[in-house]
Amino acid sequence: MITALILIIIFIIVLFFWYFAPFSLWYKAKLSGIEAGLGNMAKMRLQSIPHELIISNLIKANNAGLPVKSSELMQNYLAGVNIENVVDSAIRAKNAGISLNFNNIAKHYLAKVDTDRIIHALITAHNAGINTDINELASFYLSNVDIIKIVDAAVSAKNAGYEHITLQILKEHNLSNGNVIKAVNAYIAAKEAHYNEITFKEIAAIDLTELDVTDAVNRSINPVVIETDLIKGICADGIEIQLKLKLTVRADLKNIIGGANEQTVFARVNEYLTTEIGRTENHQEVLRNPYELAQKVQLKELGRATAFEILSVDVSNINVGKDIQAKLLKERAKANAEKAKTEYIKAEEKVQKAMASAFLDGNLSVNDYQKIQNTEADTKMRKDISNSIKKDKK
C-alpha cells in the first residue's frame, strides 16, 4: 500500500515537471538568475501559454537589464501582444540610452502601432537631440504620418541650424501630402544661397503645388537662359525687323505660386519689342544698335509680378524681313490700275450705248460710224507701236 502511494506521488511529481512545469526550463531560468516560479509555470500550461516563449524572453530581458516580470509577459501574451517583438524593441531603446517601460510599448502594440518604426524613429530623434517621446510618435503614427520621414527631415533641419522646423510643423506638412524631406532640403539650399527672406512655410506651400520645389529653388539660385521665339516688328520706314532674344531669368520664389509663367514673360517681351520697333524711324537704326532694344527690355522690368526675374537680355539673332511699304505701294498701284481699267470699260459701254442710241434716232450714219472705228483702230495701232519701241529701248 505504501509502495503504491509512493509510486503515485512520484508519478504526479514527474507529470508535474514534465507537463505543467518542465524542469529543464525551470532550471535554465534558475541558472540565469530568474525566479520563474513553479506555480507560474503551471499556470502557463493551464492558460495554454508556451513556456519556452515566456522563459526565453524573460532571460533575454534580464540579461539586457530590462526589468520585466514573467506575469507581465504572460498577461500581454494573453492580450495578443507579440512579446518577443516588444522585448526586442525595449532592449533596442535601452541600448540607445532611452528608458522605456515594457507595458507602455505593449500598450502601443495593442493600439496597432508599428513599434519597430516607432523605436527606430525615437532612437534617431534621441541621437540628434530632438525632444520627443514614444507617446508623441505613436500619436503621429496613428494619424497616418510617416514618422521615419518627419524625424529624418527634422534631423536634417536641426543639423543645418534650423531648429524652428519642429516635428509638429513637419507632421502638418506630411498630413497635407507634402514631401517633408524635399521641402526641408529645398529650404536649407535656399538659406545657404542667402535667400534669407524666404520662410519654411513658403517653401512648404510651393511643395504642395504641382511645382517641383527642388527645381524651383535651384532655378532661383542658378539662373537659366531661355530664348524667345522669332519676334517681328515694322519700322516707320516700312521695313520689317526679325529678331530673337536670350533672356537670363531667375525664379522668384515669392511670386512662384500664382505668378505668371515663362509664356507670359515671352508675350510681354514680344509686345514691347514690336511697339519699340514700330517707333523707330529707320530700320538701319535698329541694325546699327540692336542691343539698345535689349537694354530697354531689361530696364522695363517685364518680369515684374511674374514667377521670374529678368537678369539680362541679349540679342541672339537679327534679320531684315519684308519691305512692307514697297509691298503696300505695289498693291495700291495695282488696285488703282484695276480701278482705271474698270472705269475705262464703263466709259466704253457708255459710248457704245450712245452710238446705238444715235443710230436709232438717226443722228449717226454708217459712214460716220466707220470713220470713228477707223480712228480708234489707228489710235490703237500707234499706241501698240509706241509700246513696242519702248520695250526695244529697254
Q: So where are the chain's domains? A: 14-110, 129-222, 224-325
The closest alpha carbon to 222, from 198, 197, 189, belongs to 189
Range name among 145-154, 156-165, 325-334 with the lowest pLDDT average: 325-334
- The CATH number corresponding to 224-325 among 3.40.50.800, 3.30.310.50, 3.30.479.30, 3.40.1410.10 equals 3.30.479.30
Task: Please determine, for residue 303, whether its predicted confidence score (pLDDT) is greater than 70.
Answer: no
Q: Which residues contact 58 (CB under 8 A, 6 or more apart)?
A: 29, 34, 36, 68, 70, 73
Task: Evaluate if residue 282 carries a pLDDT over 80.
Answer: no
Q: Report pLDDT for 19.
A: 47
308-323 vs 231-234, strand pairing mode:
unpaired
Question: What pLDDT is attached to residue 37?
Answer: 58
- Strands (DSSP E) found in the chain: 224-227, 231-234, 239-251, 308-323
**What pTM was computed for the model?**
0.64
| Whole-number pLDDT of residue 80 | 87
Q: How far apart are CA 248 and CA 250, in angstroms?
A: 7
Query: What is the rounded distance in angstroms from the CA atom of residue 93 to the CA atom of residue 125?
Result: 12
**Model confidence at 15, in pLDDT bands (50, 70, 90)?**
very low
Percent with pLDDT over 70 in the chain? 66
- What are the angstrom distances between the C-alpha of 373 and each of 352, 366, 380, 383? 11, 11, 11, 15
Asked if residues 133 and 161 have their Cβ atoms less than 8 Å apart, the reply is: no
Which of 389, 231, 256 minimizes the C-alpha distance to 316? Answer: 231
Tens-digit pLDDT profile for residues 99-138: 888 889 999 999 999 999 999 999 999 999 999 999 999 9
pLDDT in tens, 312-345: 888 878 787 776 565 655 666 566 566 667 666 6
Amino acid occupying residue 327: K
Mean pLDDT of 238-262: 76
The C-alpha cell at 59 is 532571460
Q: What is the mean pLDDT of residues 1-9?
A: 60
Mean pLDDT of 285-295: 77
Please state the rounded mean pLDDT for residues 25-35.
61
* Residue % of the chain over a pLDDT of 90: 23
Q: Residue 260: CB partners within 8 Å, gap ≥ 6?
A: 305, 306, 307
